[in-house]
Amino acid sequence: MFSKILIANRGEIAVRVIKTCRRMGIKTVVVYSDADAGSLACEMADETVHIGPSPAAQSYLIQDKIVDAVKQTGAQAVHPGFGFLSENASFARRLKAEGIAFIGPNPEAIDAMGDKITSKKFAAEAGVSTVPGHMGLIETPDEAVKIAREIGYPVMIKASAGGGGKGIRVAHSDDDMAEGFAAVKAEALNAFGDDRVFLEKFIVDPRHIEIQVLGDKHGNVIHLFERECSIQRRNQKVIEEAPSPLLDEATRAAMGAQAVALAKAVNYDSAGTVEFVAGQDKSFYFLEMNTRLQVEHPVTELITGVDLVEQMIRSAWGEQLAIKQDDLSINGWAIESRIYAEDPYRGFLPSIGRLVRYEQPEEGDQGDYTVRNDSGVREGDEISMFYDPMIAKLCAWGETRDDAVRGMARALEDTHLAGLGHNVPFLAAVMDQERFQSGQLSTSYIKDEFPEGFHGLAPSAEQVKILIASAVAMNEVIAEQDGDPSERTDWTVLIDKAAYEVEVGYDEAEDLIVAIDGEEVSLSEIDWRPGLSLFKAALDDDAFTAEVKRAADGFDIRHRAARARVRVLRPDVAHLYALLPEKQAADTSKLVLSPMPGLVVDIPVVEGQEVKSGETVAIIEAMKMQNILKAERDGKVKAVKAKAGDPVAADDVLVEFE
């Protein structure tokens, strides 16, 4: 077995590989850029090698630097993780020529299946069902429009070398196609160094289901069942689960057999994923094969007990698969939520910065559910603009899907981040939705359920009780610690503008009894003191965690997706609050503001120019994605406040209209 492996990646996947290597007794080397100096992966690795500036194109994507690091440290193999060089056949060949093992599939398999255009042709020749589309190279927007008309809108524009949700647009018209074609080519060139683009029919109301395969160098291939990855935003997976609530045993077996046949046809010899688009009627079509480890691999590991990283290492060493297809079965249900540094209340825009607070849920058996948290950052780390804004992959396993959903909701409650925007409230909102709980999923789920964007959810009746009881309990604790406990038992609690009459007392067990408009609830097992950001307790014996912050006149409390300013007031004071005028927001209707920190790619307007509604006025790049900002109304440009190449912060003014 290898004695030392170099990990040509960063963040949580580097940490993930290190954990398996440690268990196998293998030493690890981590390469790092300027932005990743002092990272958790660097701290955990046995050795580290600096490979250059922060941009991936100057560090993680340069083969010479990776090979030099291998030779410098005496590593015998390279694990590429996902992204970067993981699906680069020339890199796999380069390592082979240098006598270095590549912990991934052979370069011929990468060539055959890693390229989206070639893989579609290969799959069609092999008799695999594929989505209608145009697999040839497309050079111009006009050519793309002509082909799209032949296929029939809606049409998906995809980068041939794409992955991770990058380089994808859906066009519903000729105008969409012309603009989207140019944008996808630019994104593809920037992210992958390859601007080839292809088109395929967009299946309405589809589901995204993928099969995990595993092969060795002796011709053996098995599948480890499916993952449902339909909860996506901008073609980026957000929530994944295994197995899929859609599939029956017959469909599962058919998809698995097709995936294995395809893998065998290209002599696949590592972990890989065959992706399908599935209709609600359980019809399915081959999309692509990812010739690498997937981000969402933990859910497969949780339901099968197989360590996929270990199997990749053993395959690269030349061992035969020790697992037969008949050895595998699905045990329970697992869900993964991707926690990102992005602000769901601002259109999910990237929110880079320092992770001032990061409290993670306890991992392992929690009774009705089990928690796994794959993270590459610690409290105090910086979330960089140069890479994907992932903070963690939070997983929950349960005996049933309902158990896994409830476990995920509780694990999200126990996750606290501060210092930047994050999507934990949004993830919690999905867990609480009846549609998600029923398993009625599609790739348009987020657009369907949050058509106006995410603004949180109104508190349920049970959450109103949690908000009130938590605020009252904190009010009591603060008064006690201040040496000024109140004898008052009657209060008015305001949740934003809604008023609730409350009576407070204690029972013989010293549990807090709160009567809310005459209905009593009991608050026990209270775990909070001033300064803590999480309030933990049990409401009528049901444990919960709320995120809390003291405000000048009360508390800001968030429970899952419901958040509110909660005030505990004397009834006469509460009456005065009702008379206060609402604060008016500043008028920004004449300004185009940067929605996120990033770099200005282009400002295609000039002072004095007449602009029509819908015209592009700025392009901002952040987290490897180009964001096109359009005029929301007709107007005349008064001033241009930025230029191409300028770094901008969120809410910086880019263009001002008269």
Catalytic annotation, residues? 288
Integer Cα distance of 104 and 81 in angstroms: 9
CA dihedral of residues 421, 426, 428, 434 (deg, nearest 10): 170
Closest-CA residue to 39 (of 522, 408, 386, 328) = 386
Q: Is the peptide bond before 361 cis (omega within 30 degrees of 0)?
A: no
What is the distance between the alpha carbons of residues 139 and 176, in angstroms, rounded to a whole number?
17
460, exposed or middle or buried, with CB in 10 Å at 0-12, 13-18, 19+?
middle
* DSSP strand pairing (47-50 vs 27-32): parallel
Cβ pair 60, 31 in contact under 8 A? yes
Q: Terminal CA-to-CA distance of the chain, rounded, Å?
A: 69
Place of tokens 């696949």: 268
Peptide bond into 55 cis (omega under 30): no
Tell how far CA 188 is from the center of its chain.
20
Rounded-to-integer distance, Cα 457 and Cα 170, Å: 28
**Distance, CA of 213 to CA of 82 (rounded, Å):** 16
Continuous H helices in 222-370: 249-265, 297-304, 308-317
Residues 381, 346 contacting (CB under 8 angstroms):
no
Tokens of 563: 């958040």
Estimate the crossing angle of helix 424-432 against helix 401-413, to 10 degrees.
150
Question: What DSSP assignment string belongs to 436-491?
Answer: HHHT---TTHHHHH-TT-----PPPHHHHHHHHHHHHHHHHHHHHHTT------EE
Residue type, 496: D
- Residue 514 CA to residue 526 CA, distance in Å, equals 14
| Contacts for 609 with CB less than 8 Å, ≥ 6 apart | 636, 637
Q: Count Cβ atoms within 10 A of the Cβ of residue 339 and give its class: 0-12 exposed, 13-18 middle, 19 or more buried.
A: buried
Burial 118-129 (b: 16+ CB within 10 A, else e): ebbebbeeeebe
Rg over alpha carbons for the chain, rounded to the nearest Å, is: 27
Side-chain-side CA neighbours of 465 within 13 Å: the count stands at 20
Whether residue 342 contacts residue 350, with contact meaning beta carbons closer than 8 Å, is answered with yes
Q: Helices marked H in 136-213 — which ranges? A: 141-151, 174-192
Distance in angstroms (rounded) separating the CA atoms of residues 598 and 625: 10
How open is the CA angle 299-289-399, to the nearest 5 degrees? 15
Region of residue 645 (phi > 0: left; psi between -120 and 50: alpha; otherwise: beta) = left
Collapsing DSSP to helix, strand or coil, 146 comes out as helix
Collapsing DSSP states into helix, strand and coil, what is residue 320?
coil
> 10 Å Cβ neighbour count for 546?
26
